[in-house]
Chain A
Amino acid sequence: MSELNEVAIEGWDLAALGEGRVLPVVTAPDHVLSRVGDPVDPTDPAVVALAADLVATMRVSPGCVGLAAPQVGVGVQLFVVNVVEHPKAVTVHGTFVLANAVVVEASRWRPGREGCMSVPDLTGDVKRAGRVVVSGELPGSGRKVTITTDAFEARALQHEIDHCNGLLFLDKVSGAHAIYQRKVYL
């Protein structure tokens, strides 16, 4: 296992989001999961509050490494990621929230098995880039950031950005038999 490469995001202040509420997580086939999220103004106090809610909801969800706004029923482009504890993580940026994020570079494609809180009974094999450059905006300051990462954090970012574009891992599974009944619930 590679050593963890912990990188700070310049200008990011998680504590400044404030305390969030734990929101219920919606599951497929809820239509909010399948529509393209609206872009948000990252400096809007309502967006900052939603960012805090995503962090709070992720933290109480066992094994959760990322959560996007559509998963709590809000069809906008905002998500949180935290893969620090995950054994497949290499480069990590701690717990962070991004608004209006896009993948600007993707390479080193490899397969991996994914689950999702919004598809609780299934997992699937999905090919994702093992190295990505993602740009987005920080809630609160609205500061534009570019994040270069790899391994599991890259996978998590692609999964969450897909949510913000109305896509589930089910839309990207690698074959007719690449879907599995989930056997372990965290």
Chain B
Amino acid sequence: MTNSSGGAELAVTVIGPDRTGIVADVAEALARLGANLTDSTMTRLRGHFAMTLICSAPASAAEVEAALRPLSADGQLLVTVRAVGPDEPPHNGGLPYLLSVHGADRLGIVAAVTRVVADMGGNVTDLSTRLVGPLYLLVAEVDLPEGVPAELTARLAKVAEELGVEVNLRPAGADVL
């Protein structure tokens, strides 16, 4: 599994209690190996540091994992490295939509809502959820096949009623310049 630069494509995850310098530590270790950090995302989930990245490295997953081992030496951070396939072509077709769901927290909101989306051939391309006090909120970006939004809106309304939450599906307009 190699990319155009000849390196292996590796997926790295780093999860654990947040502290200053985690991103710098990870990036430095990768840079020392000559690994090129491509796409990455990092956030804090209820205070926990959570980072996922793809890098192309002239090294194996085991070698990169060894280089990152000092990060997890104190038992706080969990670091995983695995080889992944080359870039997938973008999910073909589909129009971008935004889905908001909010209401009183209860078990199964994400499961029920995303199952309806999946059953209609919709693909979740980005997602965040938050629990603040009694309020649960989900915002997802989804690609929907043409002709699907009207029926999906109806199906989501039914699920929302069962869950006692509010659902709003709308086109995600992008202004291309």
A32 to chain B, nearest CB (A): 12
Q: Is the CB of A34 within 8 A of B166?
A: yes
A165 to chain B, nearest CB (A): 12
B133 to chain A, nearest CB (A): 7
Residues of chain B within 8 A of A34, CB atoms compared: 103, 166
Q: Is the CB of B126 within 8 A of A177?
A: yes
Residues 117-145 of chain B: 1 if any A CB is under 8 Å from the residue's CB, otherwise 0?
00000000011101011111101110000
- A-B pair count, CB < 8 Å, reads 61
Query: What residue of chain B has the Cβ atom nearest to residue A33's Cβ?
Result: B166
Q: Is the CB of B139 within 8 A of A176?
A: yes
B110 located at the interface, meaning its Cβ lies under 8 Å from any Cβ of chain A in the complex: no
Q: Which of A29, A172, A176 contacts B135 (CB 8 A)?
A: A29
Q: Which of B135, B136, B141, B166 contacts A119 (CB 8 A)?
A: B135
Q: Which of B98, B132, B172 contacts A122 (CB 8 A)?
A: B132
- Known contacts A119-B135, A177-B126; is-contact A170 B98 (Cβ 8 Å): no
Q: Is the CB of B135 within 8 A of A179?
A: no
Query: What CA separation (Å) do A121 and B135 show in the bound complex?
Result: 10
A83 to chain B, nearest CB (A): 25
Query: What CA separation (Å) do A168 and B101 show in the bound complex?
Result: 11
Query: What CA separation (Å) do A137 and B128 show in the bound complex?
Result: 40
- Known contacts A122-B137, A175-B141; is-contact A28 B102 (Cβ 8 Å): yes
A171 located at the interface, meaning its Cβ lies under 8 Å from any Cβ of chain B in the complex: yes
Query: What CA separation (Å) do A181 and B102 show in the bound complex?
Result: 15
Q: Is the CB of B135 within 8 A of A175?
A: no
Interface centre among B98, B103, B104, B165 (most CB of A within 10 A): B98
Q: Is the CB of A122 within 8 A of B140?
A: no
Q: Which of A172, A174, A175, A179 contacts B137 (CB 8 A)?
A: A179
Q: Which of B100, B127, B133 contacts A170 (CB 8 A)?
A: B100
Q: Is the CB of B139 within 8 A of A178?
A: yes
Q: Could you tell me the dominant secondary structure of chain B's interface residues? A: strand
Q: Which of A167, A171, A175 contacts B126 (CB 8 A)?
A: A175
Query: What CA separation (Å) do A29 and B133 show in the bound complex?
Result: 10
Residues of chain B within 8 A of A181, CB atoms compared: 130, 132
Q: Is the CB of A175 within 8 A of B172?
A: yes
Residues of chain A within 8 A of B128, CB atoms compared: 176-177, 179
Query: What CA separation (Å) do A171 and B140 show in the bound complex?
Result: 11
In chain A, residues 29-63, which have Cβ atoms closer than 8 Å to a Cβ of chain B? 29, 34
Query: What residue of chain A has the Cβ atom nearest to residue B102's Cβ?
Result: A170
B40 located at the interface, meaning its Cβ lies under 8 Å from any Cβ of chain A in the complex: no
Q: Is the CB of B130 within 8 A of A122?
A: yes
A107 to chain B, nearest CB (A): 14
A69 located at the interface, meaning its Cβ lies under 8 Å from any Cβ of chain B in the complex: no
A78 located at the interface, meaning its Cβ lies under 8 Å from any Cβ of chain B in the complex: no
B168 located at the interface, meaning its Cβ lies under 8 Å from any Cβ of chain A in the complex: yes
| CB pairs A–B below 8 angstroms (26 shown) | A27-B133, A27-B135, A28-B102, A29-B102, A29-B134, A34-B103, A119-B135, A121-B133, A121-B135, A122-B132, A170-B139, A171-B102, A171-B166, A172-B168, A172-B170, A173-B98, A173-B139, A175-B126, A175-B172, A176-B128, A176-B139, A176-B141, A177-B126, A179-B128, A179-B139, A181-B132
A-to-B contact residues, CB < 8 Å: 27-29, 34, 119, 121-122, 167-168, 170-179, 181
B-to-A contact residues, CB < 8 Å: 98, 100, 102-104, 126-128, 130, 132-137, 139-141, 165-166, 168, 170, 172
